[in-house]
Amino acid sequence: MVNHWIMWQSRFCSAVAIIAVLSYGSMGEAQDAAATAAVTRAINCFSDSWNAHDMSAFGQCFAADADFVNDTGRLWKGRTVIQKNHAFMHGAIDAAEVTMPPLLYGICKASTFKFTTITTRFLRPDTCVAHGAWQITGDTRTAEPRSGMMTIIVNNDAGHWYITALQNTEIPRIVK
């Protein structure tokens, strides 16, 4: 009798364990889908605020201590610096607030930015690396669309996803 009880208990525990693993897999997939959607929203914050030319909203896409390597290889450290340099290119602030060449003032004032593809890969539940192929039209220096690829690190901080590091690489173009 004791052996039957032990066998039954062992089978019951195995069945419960299998159900738990299968349930966790489904929950994990749902969590992954939700996290992927949140990361995609964080990345689209970049394009949405760019297209609205709202540089205050643009700054909020980034963590306070974010790093941004622009398409010419300049490293900008911190949300404030990232926001100000983009605001300068959008013609929203004057040259006294940035160290960018004056000829870049307002070059993106009437531009439209879009991600043509975004792929994501989670390194940990709170950290994702994404790659976003992009295109810009309306740059004052060229009538041709500009395009490139960004590598974007997005982190979850207290339930909010922020861009913490971004490397922008442009596909060569002809400019005036």
The two tokens of residue 49 are 């605020």
Q: For the segment 46-80, what is each residue's pLDDT rounded down to a tens digit?
A: 999 999 999 999 999 999 999 999 999 999 999 99
* Domain range enclosing 91: 42-170
pLDDT, tens digit, for every residue of 158-168?
999 999 999 99
28 domain-assigned: no
- Per-residue pLDDT tens digits for 20-38: 434 444 444 566 899 999 9
Position 9 pLDDT exceeds 90: no
Q: Please report whether residue 27 resides in a domain.
A: no
Measured between alpha carbons, how far is 39 from 8 in angstroms, rounded to an integer? 46
**pLDDT bracket for residue 15 (50, 70, 90):** very low
> How far apart (Å, rounded) are the C-alpha atoms in residues 103 and 141?
10
* Parallel, antiparallel or unpaired: strands 75-77 and 62-69: antiparallel
Residue 13 domain-assigned (yes or no): no
Strand order across the 112-124 sheet: 75-77, 62-69, 160-170, 146-157, 127-137, 112-124
| Domain presence at residue 176 | no
User: How far is residue 92 CA from its own chain's centroid?
Assistant: 23
Residue 30 lies in a domain: no
Cα gap 157→160, rounded to integer Å: 5
For residues 106 and 110, what is the distance between their CA atoms, to the nearest angstrom? 8
Q: At 158, which amino acid appears?
A: A
Q: Tokens representing 170? A: 């442009």
- Cβ distance 12 to 4 under 8 Å? no
Q: Contact 150/131 with Cβ under 8 angstroms?
A: yes
Q: How many folded domains does the chain comprise? A: 1
How many beta carbons lie within 10 A of that of residue 106, not counting itself?
Answer: 14
- In-domain check, residue 1: no
CA torsion sign for 102, 106, 107, 113 is positive
Helix ranges, 53-108 (H): 55-59, 79-89
Q: What is the CATH number of the domain that holds 61?
A: 3.10.450.50
Provide the strand spans (E) within the chain: 62-69, 75-77, 112-124, 127-137, 146-157, 160-170
Please check whether residue 4 lies inside any domain of the structure: no
Nearest to 162 by CA among 32, 45, 31, 30: 45
pTM, entire model: 0.80
Instruction: Establish if 25 belongs to a structural domain.
Output: no
